[in-house]
Structure 1
Amino acid sequence: MVRFLARRLLHFVLTITAASFLLFAVTEFSPGDVASKILGPYAVDTQVEMLRQRLKLNDPLPIRYIRWIGTLLGIVENPLGDSSTGLGLVDPRGNRYFGNLGYSLMLKEPVIDVLSDRLGYTLLLAFWAVVFIVPLSITMGVVAGMNEGRLIDRLISMTAVVLTSLPEFVVSVGLLLVGVAWLGILPGTSPMNLGSKWSIGTQLFLPVTVLVIASASYVSRIVRASVVDTLRRPYVRTALLKGLPRWQITIHHVLRNAMIPPITVILLQINWLLTGVVVVEAIFAYPGVGSLLLQAGLYGDIYLVQALSLLALSVAVGTQLIGDLCYMALDPKIKVA
């Protein structure tokens, strides 16, 4: 177990390092000079060149990447906070601390403060979505798989296929028409205002519902296919021939083995919920990470885009590690030596 975890953690670090370097290179070589993006389109060439020299942007890419990582780890001071640059960027924690992701050029605030405000709302949205997605998709998939070819299987499968094929913005508009325009019982936006006449739960209802519809219908199809495949295994047929109750076969023989493939899909949905729900957050004006990434990209906020992309990479690689641990718990035949 210890050796397995050590290998997976080493793989995690190497993957994050390689991916972060590619991320840094892509953002650094995106259209427009970094100094020009910081100063804006109306800066003169002398100002751009002066800032480029103070930030040492003429150094080779590997050196700039190491300096970026050093700033993130708190080893190197962030030059953006230096008063000599004239940018007016101030961080109350100073220019050297662990987790220093730079400054948001759009909001003129430290990136870590901007993320802390938005990440909490995204985690709240993802939590309630997962609370409904996991049991609903597993229940639908197991019921459909255990009744392969029957009427209930066809109804669940047809419903799941139809809902999966609908884009998120179509589902969002449909729910807005019903809940807001026709019935008038739900808010049209979800800004998460405590002083609003709508409760927090009411403001969460529409975005959570859209995410559940978009994800649970897809995951249930994967669960159904896995259950159908597991039911055809010899050990399930043996259990049936022994006369074991159907519920006992489902719980002890089918569920545990059938859940191995869907685990990967469920973890991918968690990654999507944390960093990829741009459309849903934009439609409902939800103050999460997804809408923040869209705003940062449109504004050209390079440091905020780097931070959000690095967060997405960390979540993606971290879910792989969690998936390996889940495989071990579900299937004792997986060797970790």
Structure 2
Amino acid sequence: MAGFIIRRLGTMALAMLCLSLAVFYLVDLEPNLKRLAISQLNMRSSTEELESWLQRNGYRQNFFVRYGQWLGVIPEQPRPDPATGKAMPRFSFCPEGGQAGYSGVLQGDFGCSTKFKVPVIRKLVPALKATGILMFWVMAVMVPASLFLGVLAGMREGSRTDRTLSAASITTAATPEYISGVLFTVVFASWLGWLNGSAASATNQGISFYNFTLPVITMALYGTGYIARMTRASMAEVMTQQYIRTARLKGLSFGAVVVRHALRNALITPFTVIMLQFPWLLTGVAVVEVMFRYQGFGFTLVEAAANNDIDLLLACSLISVFVVLSTQLVSDLGYALLNPRIRVQ
């Protein structure tokens, strides 16, 4: 098991390195650099002024040198002020010293946000905290509801309850967030007035049932249907196994058979599906947070992409890759612990 974990961690590191290199290449394209220079100077700047700014701030260095500096494995060179000759920061609003030395991701320096005018880490920490709270409540609603509905449908395969719950699960799993979010807002916020159609106040004034329910339900709806379908299929398969029939022939009640023998084996597949929902939640959270104006990680990612905020976009991409790979590792480890056959292999 230790060897497996070490190999997977090595694979994760290599994957993060390759993907970060690809993203760095995309944001380093010439149109993005020109837009960055214009945002730091002004729209009327001449081509020579833009080129001078890019040259002075190191954007005309070799691509791999710049990537190594961003990663923190190549030391940065000081940026001299044309007027005084002294080292100056890359952006006036960011407390970078502009001094030579290692200063990159490996040292905890993700750069500066040109959109929010603060160091990237100061913007990311509250955004990740806000999204973490949202994720917690989404999982708290989605996991128990989906497991209960899936087990209930799978226990009586082919019954009216099974058909009804399966139809509801398919419907919710086929409804994307931008549709369910609009429907919920129209019904519960605009028409009935029970809930707030915006979650912007949740990050400033605190979370309440009034301002936080709609984004949670919108995100949980799709996942609930999908996990319920997987749980139902797993439960229905387990209920047809020979050891289940043997337990029934020994005189155990139906409820005892389900609780003692069927549930443990039926929940192995849903566990993997639940862990793999985290990468999907990263996609859904961007849509939901923008729709409800909730200033979390997804909202920050969209703002960074829309405003050509290169350093912030790179940091968001790196965190997204880390979350996806980490949840896959946890999923594999959990599956091995739950299934002895996988553990032996």
**TM-score w.r.t. structure 2 length?**
0.86
- Counterpart residue number, 2:230: 222
- Counterpart residue number, 1:57: 59
Q: How does 1:37-52 map to 2 (within 5 A)?
A: 37-40=36-39, 41-52=43-54
1:9 and 2:9 matched: yes
Give the counterpart of 2:70 among 68, 71, 77: 68
Distance 1:93 1:257, change over 3 A: farther
- Counterpart residue number, 1:285: 293
Q: Name the CA distance, whole Å, in 2 between partners of 1:293 and 1:318.
A: 20
For 1:34, give the aligned amino acid: L
- List per-residue Cα deviations over 1:98-125 (Å, max 9, x = no partner): 3211111111211111111211111111
Q: Name the CA distance, whole Å, in 2 between partners of 1:55 and 1:124.
A: 38
**8 Å contact 1:38–1:105 — kept in the other structure?**
no
For 1:17, give the aligned amino acid: L
- Counterpart residue number, 2:267: 259
- Which deviates more from structure 2 when the two are superposed, residues 123-132 or residues 76-85? 76-85
**Post-superposition offset of 1:328:** 2.0
**8 Å contact 2:89–2:95 — kept in the other structure?**
no
- Counterpart residue number, 1:272: 280
* SS of corresponding position for 2:93: coil
Give the counterpart of 1:105 among 92, 114, 119: 114
Distance 1:336 1:39, change over 3 A: farther
Q: How does 1:140-289 map to 2 (within 5 A)?
A: 140-193=149-202, 200-274=208-282, 276-289=284-297
Q: Name the CA distance, whole Å, in 2 between partners of 1:286 and 1:299.
A: 18
- Counterpart residue number, 1:136: 145
**Post-superposition offset of 1:276:** 3.6
Give the counterpart of 1:325 among 322, 333, 344: 333
Q: Name the CA distance, whole Å, in 1 between partners of 2:171 and 2:75.
A: 53
- Structure number with the bigger relative contact order (C-alpha 8 A, sep ≥ 6) is 1
**Post-superposition offset of 1:307:** 1.1
For 1:163, give the aligned amino acid: T
Distance 1:77 1:320, change over 3 A: same
For these two proteins, the number of residue pairs brought into alignment is 332
**8 Å contact 2:78–2:98 — kept in the other structure?**
no
* SS of corresponding position for 1:237: helix
**Post-superposition offset of 1:199:** 5.7
Q: Name the CA distance, whole Å, in 1 between partners of 2:52 and 2:78.
A: 13
For 1:216, give the aligned amino acid: T
Give the superposed CA RMSD. Answer: 2.8
Give the counterpart of 1:87 among 79, 86, 91: 91
**8 Å contact 2:23–2:317 — kept in the other structure?**
yes
Query: Which residues of structure 1 form unaligned runs of 5+?
Result: none
Give the counterpart of 1:303 among 311, 322, 327: 311
Q: Segments of 4+ in structure 1 off by > 6 A?
A: 78-82, 92-95
**Post-superposition offset of 1:222:** 1.3
**Post-superposition offset of 1:335:** 3.0
For 2:53, give the aligned amino acid: L
- Counterpart residue number, 1:26: 26
Q: Name the CA distance, whole Å, in 2 between partners of 1:94 and 1:85.
A: 4
For 1:184, give the aligned amino acid: G
For 1:254, give the aligned amino acid: A
* SS of corresponding position for 2:293: coil
- List per-residue Cα deviations over 1:177-197 (Å, max 9, x = no partner): 22222322221211135776x
**Post-superposition offset of 1:92:** 7.6
**Post-superposition offset of 1:286:** 1.0
**8 Å contact 1:80–1:102 — kept in the other structure?**
no
1:123 and 2:132 matched: yes
Q: Name the CA distance, whole Å, in 1 between partners of 2:57 and 2:344.
A: 46
**Post-superposition offset of 1:127:** 0.4
**Post-superposition offset of 1:299:** 1.2
Distance 1:76 1:235, change over 3 A: farther
- List per-residue Cα deviations over 1:9-64 (Å, max 9, x = no partner): 222212222222222222223x6152542443543323333333334333443332
- List per-residue Cα deviations over 1:127-173 (Å, max 9, x = no partner): 00001111111111111011110011111111111222222222222
For 1:154, give the aligned amino acid: R
* SS of corresponding position for 1:329: helix
Q: Name the CA distance, whole Å, in 2 between partners of 1:21 and 1:48.
A: 25
Distance 1:11 1:246, change over 3 A: farther
**Post-superposition offset of 1:295:** 1.6
- Which deviates more from structure 2 when the two are superposed, residues 123-132 or residues 299-308? 299-308
Q: Name the CA distance, whole Å, in 1 between partners of 2:307 and 2:75.
A: 27
Q: Name the CA distance, whole Å, in 2 between partners of 1:157 and 1:93.
A: 60
**8 Å contact 1:161–1:217 — kept in the other structure?**
yes
